Amino acid sequence: MRRQFVNGSVILKVALWYCAILGGFAGYTNWLPQIRGDAPEAAVAVDVSNVTPEMLQEMGESIIYGSHDPLGMLQRGEGPIGKGQCPLCHRFFMEQKADRCPNLIALPNPETGDEGLKVTEEQRSHDRVKDPRYKEAMERMADGEENSGIVPHAETGGQYLIESEYCPNCFVVMGFGLKGTNDTVSPMPIINKPPIQLVDTEIVAVVSYLQMRDDPGKFTAIEDWEAYWGKTLGEGEEEIKEEAPAAPGPKVALGSETPEEIVTKMTCYACHKIPGIEVAKTGMVGPLLIEGSSAPHRIASAEYKARVKEGLASATTPREYIIESIISPGAFVVPGFADDMLKDFKHKFTVSGLDVLVDHLLAQTEETAIAEGLDRLPNEKEGSLVKPAEAKIDNGEKTVKKSIEEFGDEQDAHLSIAGLENAHAKSFN
């Protein structure tokens, strides 16, 4: 079992770093149960002469939950979210209410409720590579997936789990792709790139955790990683991105912080793109946050007015709308999206902290987004920010795009196909 560590100087180094936290903080959090479980992740060298698969698993646990007592945190109403951010989207415990992304736990069979039929993520991973859609994806991305350059090529379940972290688009679980992309684009961030940016060894630790949790004793993550990449783990120098040490106590956004710091601390960037925020350039779960443009438009919409009539929403100014969206996200759900905002922000902002963030969001507009090359998601009803004038074909297509803007959705755009033909006729005359 331990042979894998012979080549692993890097693994050893990393394990030392994480082990320090395990040892140091288990006691600390027991003594102070009300204090947030995720420990300041500062390195304190301890002398560990050997690293076991169990240690790698614990390291994975720490990366996923930022805690070794995730269930306890959940019971205290806290979010066990570590630097890997996975539980922000994925469900790891029955107690956790998150279903915007595939469950990473074994659930009873949804139709029969039969406990005996539950399938673990470890078991599912083996089926994925045999799925005809996997083969299709391999063919479609034979020249490499756009963002990672990876050609899907997992051969085993373990390799599939590894690949999922480096290339979420390589296989998109049916029904969980970005709306409007026919399950070809995953809203999951690439885990080895900013902002999450786990290094290879950390990804192996996360996969070890998933495998060993589902199938105790199963420890193939290093083998899987090496077979997948055709090289030895730990050959390159890995620079681990350490999280800034967290102050003890619950995480709260403060008025003394910058918008960048608040967005980072509150993990808004995992789901939203926000102009002017360095860390928030990739989120694909929620709308592009350009509230200077969007908020007035939302309040004026028929959908919002209906919620006001029902007594569920009550904003009358853009500022109120943004505050309502953050502290009471169910009041109104932006059309095209699910009610997937985290629900506990009302406990996590001081009034002045909220002000800082709202000021920033209110100052963002279509223009500030365009200036940074940020665009809306395909499922946003308002459509792309790329103006028809910039479109490649500027005659017929322009007419269709324009009518999408005017009528708000594609179906209505088809109604003006006559306009398209007219435009063509003109350009040939």
Q: Can you tell me whether residue 184 is helix, strand or coil?
A: coil
**220 sits near ligand HEC (criterion: CB under 6 A):** no
**Smaller CB distance to ligand HEC: residue 55 or 101?**
101
**65 sits near ligand HEC (criterion: CB under 6 A):** no
| Phi, psi for residue 39 in degrees, rounded to 5 | -85, 155
Stretch that binds ligand HEC, among 21-29, 133-141, 182-190, 239-247 (CB under 6 A): 182-190
What is d(CA 196, CA 302) in angstroms, rounded to the nearest whole number? Answer: 38
What is d(CA 20, CA 62) in angstroms, rounded to the nearest whole number? Answer: 12
Interface positions, 121-150, toward ligand HEC (CB under 6 A) = 121, 124, 128
**85 sits near ligand HEC (criterion: CB under 6 A):** yes
* List of residues 6+ apart from 56 with CB closer than 8 A: 11, 15, 204, 205, 208, 219, 221
What is d(CA 55, CA 60) in angstroms, rounded to the nearest whole number? Answer: 9
**Smaller CB distance to ligand HEC: residue 11 or 271?**
271
Distances (CA, A) of 299 to 295, 320, 327, 360, 367: 6, 10, 17, 19, 20
Quick one: which of 348, 113, 114, 333 has its CA closest to 252? 348
**340 sits near ligand HEC (criterion: CB under 6 A):** yes
Q: Closest distance between ligand HEC and the C-beta of residue 101, in Å?
A: 4
**252 sits near ligand HEC (criterion: CB under 6 A):** no
**205 sits near ligand HEC (criterion: CB under 6 A):** no
**420 sits near ligand HEC (criterion: CB under 6 A):** no
**91 sits near ligand HEC (criterion: CB under 6 A):** no
What is d(CA 164, CA 125) in angstroms, rounded to the nearest whole number? Answer: 10
Stretch that binds ligand HEC, among 48-56, 80-88, 305-313, 408-416 (CB under 6 A): 80-88
173 contacts 102 by C-beta, under 8 angstroms: yes
Stretch that binds ligand HEC, among 10-18, 142-150, 180-188, 365-373 (CB under 6 A): 180-188
Q: Percent helix, strand, coil in the chain (nearest 5)?
A: 45, 0, 50
**102 sits near ligand HEC (criterion: CB under 6 A):** yes
**Smaller CB distance to ligand HEC: residue 10 or 172?**
172
> Using the rule CB under 6 A, which residue among 201, 208, 325, 399 binds ligand HEC?
325
Q: What is the DSSP string of 114-125?
A: -GGG-B-HHHHH
**119 sits near ligand HEC (criterion: CB under 6 A):** no
210 contacts 92 by C-beta, under 8 angstroms: no
Residues at the contact surface with ligand HEC, assessed by CB under 6 A: 84-86, 88-90, 101-102, 121, 124, 128, 161, 164-165, 168, 172-173, 176, 186-189, 191, 206, 266-268, 270-272, 285-287, 289, 291, 294, 298, 322, 325-326, 329, 333-334, 337, 339-342, 345, 357
